[in-house]
Amino acid sequence: MTTLRKKYHDLGNKINTALMYIGAVKDQVEMYGGSEEDKKYFGNTIKKCLVAENVLLELDQELSAIKAVAYSLTDPDKDLKELALEAKARNQDVKLLVIDNDRGLCTIIKEKYEGRGFKVETAIDADSGKRMLLSWVPDILLLDLYLNVGMEGVDILRFIRSEKLPVKCAIITGETDEDKLKDVRALQPDEMLIKPVMAAQLTAKINAMVSSLRRK
């Protein structure tokens, strides 16, 4: 049943990704000016996007139906709310550290995930972040790349790897230049997300890291 759940979860993610790409194509086509002939051509592209979108939405509905059956088979008396409460109770053993130089962002993430049961602490610079890593020993780390004056996030990741700290690390950065991200990827973070990240995506990644912690 776990495999089935994982399958519909993965399928749901794929559908969302496809919808996202179709949305991006629609945005770009809508934005394109060009000649009347171009407009006619792109008008057809928009129509095709709408058809594809509808197919995906139908698939999503079918998937939801399968999901409902899967839930009823595993937990006949439990609905989404109860499962979420169970997850919240389980999360109380999980320590989440956020290292980001944006204090406002740290507060938002802390409030959000404390509400979902996690123990959350924050640090706004590399030094206090390293201290928290050693003294508080988090299970999961959400790490920004740019902290005090430069890309110290990568130093923290390097520190984690060299000290073999048992923490799952997700890099969350606004950096999109692949050349600059090479060093970071070489250190194999558990997750790598480019800002702005959708909240559902962030939660899914955190949940995936929690699951992998529990499998150990």
Partner 1 sequence: MAATPEGIRLLWKALEGAHERVAPAVWDAMDIFCVARLDEMIAIASRAGEGPVPVEDARVITALADRVRRFLQGFKRSSDGIGGVKDGVVMLSPIALELVAHYVGNDLYKIILIADVYDAFPEPLAAGAGVKIIANATMIKDFLKDLKEKTR
Q: Under the rule (CB under 8 A), what is the footprint of partner 1?
A: 20, 23-24, 27-29, 31-33, 80-81, 83-85, 101-102, 104-105, 108-109, 112, 115-116, 144-151, 174-177, 194-200, 202
Q: Which is nearer to partner 1, 150 or 166 (CB)?
A: 150
Give the SS3 label for residue 71.
Answer: helix
Q: Which is nearer to partner 1, 127 or 163 (CB)?
A: 127
* Smallest gap from residue 164 Cβ to partner 1 (A): 28
Q: Which is nearer to partner 1, 108 or 134 (CB)?
A: 108
Task: Specify whether the CB–CB gap between 160 and 126 falls below 8 A.
Answer: no
What six digits make up the tokens of 46? 């928009």
* Smallest gap from residue 114 Cβ to partner 1 (A): 13
Query: Strand ranges (DSSP E) for the chain?
Result: 95-99, 119-123, 140-143, 168-173, 191-194
Give which of 167, 160, 164 is closest to 213, Cα–Cα: 167
Whole-number Cα distances in Å, 198 to 31, 163, 194, 203, 204: 23, 32, 10, 9, 10
| 76 DSSP 8-state letter | T
* Smallest gap from residue 77 Cβ to partner 1 (A): 16
* Smallest gap from residue 187 Cβ to partner 1 (A): 18
Q: Which is nearer to partner 1, 97 or 147 (CB)?
A: 147
